[in-house]
Chain A
Amino acid sequence: MKAFRILSRNIRDAAKSVFRNFSLSLASISCITITLIVVAISSILSSNVNNFATLVEKDVTIVVFLDLDITDQTRQNVADSIRLLDNIESVTFKSKSEIANEMKESSKEFESALSNWTEEESPIQDTYLVKVEDIERIGETAKSIEKMKGVSIVKYGEGMVEQLISVFDMVRKITVGMVIALIIVTAFLISNTIKITIFSRRREIEIMRLVGASNINIKIPFMMEGLFLGILGSIIPIIAMIYGYTALYEHFDGKMFSPFIRLIQIQPFVYEVSLFLLLVGALVGMIGSWRAVRKYLKI
């Protein structure tokens, strides 16, 4: 009950204080707003790159071409041995007739060429389509499959896939690093802005000390105020981000540059980013205030 009273008083006082020191509060809020906009842009960028990378990685498939004269037993053995490998997500069988039908449907030339062969004469091989769990180990998995009896060729876009993966990995690391760096910079900026606010209120802190406020008693109201500033500062970035991303998505019709690069669906993505921005604003405001007030707590 007592803790609840202290907390509600702190919340009330923090709200009051934000308005009483309005010009300085505005400075802190603008600082938070500007940095959060940059955080919003880089997190949208980072999430989309991540999303694209994941989509591409999911599409990567190992195609296992089986020997033309393979027996049903050997074919089954190959599937079983592939499933026994540790990096396998799924194994799907695609018979030569299925492939032939797909090819026939895709163009007339194929249709006329393929219709000349009987089932036995057809050069088309039965295949297994294998998806892997860890894309970085795809080469290793492909090699193990290649050694199996009954397997003629294994293809997965060697070279290209590895390159793509390393590029994605780098972009991912850079964007995540950027977001983290930005958050740290924001915390420092806010801490300094709040320091100025608190400098003008050191008298209040002195009086608090004088009447017997403990360090926690003094810190909590300022941290609450930081929390409020953080939340207020995140409103504009959140609104800008929601409208901005929606406009971007609709303008490009969910794709960028080519149909392969798909943007993340608007919902629930914008709400997730909003929540992230709100949390970053609130936390950074609180931590900034806490850092700033520490200096005045020495006797």
Chain B
Amino acid sequence: MDIIRFQHVKKQYKTGVTAIHDLSLNIEKGDFVFIIGSTGCGKSTLVKMIYRAEKPTSGKILVGGINVAKLRDSKVYKIRRKIGVVFQDFQLLSRSTVYENVAFALEIFGLPKAEIHSKVIKALELVGLKHKAKNYPNQLSGGEQQRVAIARAIVNGPKLLICDEPTGNLDKNTSVEIMTVLEEINKLGTTIIMVTHDTDIVNRMKKRVILLDSGRILKDYEKGTYKNEGIQNTK
């Protein structure tokens, strides 16, 4: 079953730049998909449209059966609650502890304290940071901060996790750590879509790879068939 379906999606910015041209794409539930391509090829725009940070100019985007292209601004939060998002720059609240950062997403919904506690601890255990729950983000390394961001993204048990260059700011070893965590989450049944520049990671993971070029799908590699090709142009 497809969790995401793009049907003839076009995105043109107000500046006149067309980021995505007539793009159609299906992503299956439980899949792990890399989206790669050179800078400015529309990777970020593509994933932003999934969690409705951008609205397509035309076409249909079905996420879990809901057409997010038609979603009103005031209803966007409904889809956001079902999707976890992780960014290159972590996006943590610097004045809140690790625990508070992760609990933040649940507190908004008014869950009971005990339930929040057990969910937060579970998420922190999954990313291996339970012992740092009381630390502040600036007391953590980059890799640890990213793991906190991942814990926050999955604490609500989303079916879909979007990672926009999650290893972009991290060194090689730390990137491997992050990928291990992501793979773990994927094994638990969460669909993961990851935008990246890092060909090493893509090579090693042997997952489905979608190569974008100038807003079009240049090639869609089945699981394990990608062999470091067609991405010479990346930074």
Report which A residues bind B (CB closer than 8 A): 2-3, 5-6, 9, 20, 203-204, 206-215, 217, 298-299
B161 CB to nearest A CB, Å: 13
B110: contacting residue among A3, A212, A215, CB under 8 A: A3
B128 CB to nearest A CB, Å: 21
A199 CB to nearest B CB, Å: 16
CA distance A83 to B104 in the complex (A): 72
**B93 contacts A9, CB within 8 Å?**
no
**A212 contacts B77, CB within 8 Å?**
yes
B93: contacting residue among A207, A209, A215, A298, CB under 8 A: A207
A299: contacting residue among B76, B95, B104, B111, CB under 8 A: B76
Given A212-B105, A298-B73, are A206 and B91 also a contact pair (CB < 8 Å)? yes
17 residue pairs A–B, Cβ–Cβ below 8 Å: A3-B110, A5-B113, A203-B91, A207-B104, A208-B108, A209-B80, A210-B51, A211-B108, A211-B156, A212-B80, A212-B82, A212-B105, A212-B156, A213-B108, A214-B77, A299-B53, A299-B76
Chain A residue contacts of B78, Cβ below 8 A: 212
**B95 contacts A20, CB within 8 Å?**
yes
Across the interface, name the chain A residue whose C-beta is closest to B87: A210
A261 CB to nearest B CB, Å: 55
- A interface, over-half SS: helix
Instruction: Please provide the 5 A-B residue pairs with the shortest distance between their CB atoms, ordered closest to farther.
Output: A212-B81, A212-B80, A211-B105, A6-B110, A214-B77
Q: Does B152 contact A (CB under 8 A)?
A: yes
Q: Does B173 contact A (CB under 8 A)?
A: no
CA distance A20 to B105 in the complex (A): 20
Q: Does B107 contact A (CB under 8 A)?
A: yes
Give the interface centre of A6, A207, A208, A212 by most chain B CB atoms within 10 Å.
A212
Q: Does B85 contact A (CB under 8 A)?
A: yes
Report which B residues bind A (CB closer than 8 A): 51-53, 73-74, 76-78, 80-82, 85, 91-93, 95, 104-105, 107-113, 152, 156
**A207 contacts B91, CB within 8 Å?**
yes
Chain A residue contacts of B107, Cβ below 8 A: 9
CA distance A240 to B49 in the complex (A): 56
**B110 contacts A209, CB within 8 Å?**
no
A127 CB to nearest B CB, Å: 72
Across the interface, name the chain A residue whose C-beta is closest to B155: A211
9 extra interchain contacts, Cβ-Cβ under 8 A, other than A3-B110, A5-B112, A203-B91? A20-B95, A207-B91, A211-B80, A211-B156, A212-B80, A212-B81, A214-B77, A299-B73, A299-B76
Chain A residue contacts of B76, Cβ below 8 A: 209, 299
**B77 contacts A217, CB within 8 Å?**
yes
Chain A residue contacts of B112, Cβ below 8 A: 5
Across the interface, name the chain B residue whose C-beta is closest to A210: B85
**B53 contacts A217, CB within 8 Å?**
no
**B104 contacts A211, CB within 8 Å?**
yes
B80: contacting residue among A2, A9, A210, A215, CB under 8 A: A210
Give the interface centre of B51, B95, B104, B107 by most chain A CB atoms within 10 Å.
B107
CA distance A196 to B51 in the complex (A): 29
CA distance A299 to B73 in the complex (A): 7
Chain A residue contacts of B104, Cβ below 8 A: 207-208, 211
A61 CB to nearest B CB, Å: 63
Give the interface centre of A6, A9, A210, A215 by most chain B CB atoms within 10 Å.
A210
CA distance A3 to B109 in the complex (A): 9
Given A2-B110, A211-B105, are A299 and B52 also a contact pair (CB < 8 Å)? yes
Given A212-B105, A213-B77, A299-B53, are A204 and B110 also a contact pair (CB < 8 Å)? no
Across the interface, name the chain A residue whose C-beta is closest to B78: A212
Across the interface, name the chain B residue whose C-beta is closest to A213: B108
CA distance A214 to B79 in the complex (A): 11
